[in-house]
Amino acid sequence: MQMFLSQVEVAELTGRKQRRKQVEQLIFMRLSFTLDAFGWPKVLRQTIEAELGLSKHCADTAPLTINYDKLSSLGNA
């Protein structure tokens, strides 16, 4: 099994096809992710399993922050 969700799985999870919209939706859903070299969101499979209760996870109460510089650079990609 792959460590990260595929682009198709991320699109299914977020309901979005465009990478910028996927990023916005993942932020809204408060899911942890990173961006690959092409600006596509990479979501650990373990993150989704933990969120859906398939594995133990710690409740993270720290607020999320948005990297607006990174988001604005996606529009230029």
Is residue 76 a part of any domain in this protein? no
Structural tokens at position 47: 């993150």
Is residue 77 a part of any domain in this protein? no
Q: How many domains does the chain have?
A: 1
Note the pLDDT tens digit of each residue in 15-37.
999 999 999 999 999 999 999 99
Is residue 46 a part of any domain in this protein? yes
**pTM for the structure as a whole:** 0.67
For residues 65 and 56, what is the distance between their CA atoms, to the nearest angstrom? 24
Is residue 26 a part of any domain in this protein? yes
Is residue 42 a part of any domain in this protein? yes
Domain limits for position 64: 7-71
| pLDDT by residue, tens only, the chain of 77 residues | 799 999 999 999 999 999 999 999 999 999 999 999 999 999 999 999 888 876 554 555 667 788 888 888 877 65
Are 35 and 70 within 8 A, CB to CB? yes
pLDDT computed for residue 57 by the predictor: 46
Structural tokens at position 48: 């989704």
End-to-end CA distance of the chain: 30
